[in-house]
Amino acid sequence: MKLHWIASTSLSLVRMVQSCAAVHHPAAPVRRDRGELPLKNSAASSTFVHESQRVAERLISASVDEGLFWEQLSDELVSAANDAPLTPALCEVALLRAGHSQLQSDQTAASVHRSLDSCRRLLANDQPRLADQLRLRYAPLKQAYEAYGPGLLRSIGNQIWSGSPPKDWWPGRVSVHAVQPLQTGAAGRSSYQGSVWIEAVLTDISPAVPEWLRLVYQLTQMAIDTHTRTHASGMREGRSAADGKSAIELPWSLGTIPLIFDRAGEAGMIPANSMPIATAIDLGWASDDPTAAALLVRNATSEELSRVLEDWWDATGRTTPVFPVALKNLSARLAELTQTGTR
């Protein structure tokens, strides 16, 4: 699998606008101080916030799901094999997928794009060399992945498929969109597959969980998403007569966390027997997993969830030949934590 690295200024912009619109919205519970905004010039920052709020207000007035709009717009950018420019057409696609009616969707898209383009010009004036800066920032991550990642991915695929992964399990080429950091590390992937994004942080957020492992995690999830979506009927033991869960419904995103750490420790890439699962969860590795989200919302701690995952891995995950069968066992353990483990 070859990675094509992209300094994604467009996706960086979209994430910044989304963040500003959410934090500075009047209904937001906490308002970020203006000095923490990503633009250095205070006047430009104020205008950036204003335009970001205009986007949010336009989406609300159009009865569009804001979160879904940003997700779809980001998806469109991540699925491209380059730093695609933001256009009214992309905005309209995202609006329609987020629930906007076809009636006057072009007008709403034009209005949203005007504000986004105003923010783009402000960012370009504030950081004219953003693309070059992103290339410099992702260079250490790229180097670390190239040194360790391909071998670890092969080991992960062999564990999931008992030594015989399908030839199309790992895609031949993946686009990696490096974006400006807004958090202490974050990553995601396109639902169209073949692309992931990751914040170009210069140093590991935690020495126990190298950032290149975050990239490995996303690449693994991308392969799982693609395969379960397109070949679910061919997955061994893909559906259980007992619980009716299909392969795509199993807790893959949680189950692969101890798998990755186990394989990395076995290869000497991290300290042997190191299972920093709680740290990975705190760093947002399973942020898109509905089971993990539900547990954490109900006050289960990352340490409690980590203990369940580590116990499952030691008892079942490591030794069960058919990984979906092991994940069914994990699903049952997580259900027990949901019922009895929250405080």
Task: Identify how many contiguous H helices and E strands the chain contains and give both numbers.
Answer: 12, 4
pLDDT score of 235 more than 70 = no
pLDDT category at 211 given cuts 50, 70, 90 is very high
pLDDT score of 128 more than 90 = yes
Closest CA relative to residue 215, chosen from 198, 191, 227 = 198
pLDDT score of 333 more than 60 = yes
pLDDT score of 237 more than 50 = no
Distance CA 263, CA 159 (A): 9
**Residue 241 class from Cβ within 10 Å (0-12 exposed, 13-18 middle, 19+ buried)?**
exposed
pLDDT confidence of residue 246: 59
Distance CA 249, CA 188 (A): 19
The helix (run of H) or strand (run of E) holding residue 187 is strand 187-189
What's the mean per-residue pLDDT of the chain? 88
Query: If you average pLDDT over residues 215-236, what whole number do you get?
Result: 81
Query: If you average pLDDT over residues 143-151, what whole number do you get?
Result: 97
Residues 109, 41: contact at Cβ < 8 Å? no
pLDDT confidence of residue 343: 44
**Residue 95 class from Cβ within 10 Å (0-12 exposed, 13-18 middle, 19+ buried)?**
buried
pLDDT confidence of residue 205: 93
pLDDT confidence of residue 299: 65
How big is the CA angle at 208 (ends 202 and 212), to the nearest 5 degrees?
A: 45
pLDDT confidence of residue 249: 81
CA dist 329 → 157, 317, 324 (Å): 20, 9, 9
pLDDT confidence of residue 301: 87
Query: If you average pLDDT over residues 2-27, what whole number do you get?
Result: 87
pLDDT confidence of residue 273: 81
pLDDT confidence of residue 303: 93
Distance CA 216, CA 263 (A): 12
CA dist 177 → 68, 88, 146, 212, 317 (Å): 20, 21, 16, 14, 32
Residue with token string 């979160």: 67
pLDDT confidence of residue 23: 59
Question: The pTM is what?
Answer: 0.89
Sequential DSSP letters for 204-217: -SBTTB-HHHHHHH
pLDDT score of 234 more than 60 = no
Query: If you average pLDDT over residues 39-48, what whole number do you get?
Result: 91
pLDDT score of 342 more than 80 = no
pLDDT confidence of residue 295: 73
pLDDT category at 292 given cuts 50, 70, 90 is confident
Distance CA 240, CA 245 (A): 6
Torsion angle of the four alpha carbons 242, 243, 248, 251, in this order, in degrees rounded to the nearest 10: -120
pLDDT score of 329 more than 90 = yes
Distance CA 151, CA 308 (A): 28
pLDDT confidence of residue 274: 85
